[in-house]
Chains A and B, each alone.
Chain A
Amino acid sequence: MNIELIFQIAGIGILTSILHALLKQAGKEEYAFIVTLAGVAIAFIMVIQVLSQLFNQVKSVFSLG
């Protein structure tokens, strides 16, 4: 469990939105959309991994199944 996770995700988010704005301004709107989608996918996968770790821990603490 690392505290840096939120900073990483916030960083990816800000970076993605900057790239999105740049690409949009350069006229390449489709690329902007793809970049945003890729960023969301990457951050989502990171969050899902931590979420599954959390569920395993919750299962062991509550000793469910």
Chain B
Amino acid sequence: MEALQLVMLGITATMLALFVRERNKEFGLLVSLAGGILLITLILEPLGTVIMGLRGLALRGQVSLAYIDIVLKATAIAFLTEFAAQICQDAGEGALAKKVEAGGKVLILLIALPIFSSVLDGLLALLP
């Protein structure tokens, strides 16, 4: 039962991180980071199933798989950069967190550019 595992792991990791952070800040961060990684690993398999389902839906709706892939890539980038940014913030490094987030936004814009140009092409084709 994944929900139970998730809850137990989250609470245990929080307790440990809190305990260790008081003694030694760097280790507190490492415990929190390791806990986060384990939680993500736990949820990765159900997430894979969800993505397969989304792909299936896209095929049935006859949406080009390329677009779905771009959206999924953007989601993955957002997810990972938010994870890293939150770790930075927990450690008190708000400035670094913002830089990581900004980098993530730039990368997402980068992979979304083809969509913008496709939309523009479509609109220009509609004009007389």
Q: Is the CB of B16 within 8 A of A10?
A: yes
Which chain B residue has the least Cβ–Cβ distance from A60?
B48
Question: In the complex, which of the residues B23, B41, B42, B75 contacts A17, with contact meaning CB atoms closer than 8 Å?
Answer: B23
Count chain A residues whose beta carbon lies closer than 8 angstroms to a beta carbon of B. 31
Q: Is the CB of B27 within 8 A of A61?
A: no
Q: Is the CB of B37 within 8 A of A13?
A: no
Which DSSP category, helix, strand, loop or mixed, fits chain B's interface? helix
**Size category, B interface:** 20 to 34
A62 to chain B, nearest CB (A): 5
Question: In the complex, which of the residues B13, B17, B44 contacts A61, with contact meaning CB atoms closer than 8 Å?
Answer: B44
User: Assuming the A-B contacts A6-B16, A61-B47, A62-B72, are A54 and B26 also in contact, with contact meaning beta carbons closer than 8 angstroms in the complex?
Assistant: no
> A residues near B, CB below 8 A?
1, 3, 5-7, 9-10, 12-14, 16-17, 20, 36, 39-40, 43-44, 46-47, 50-51, 53-55, 57-58, 61-64
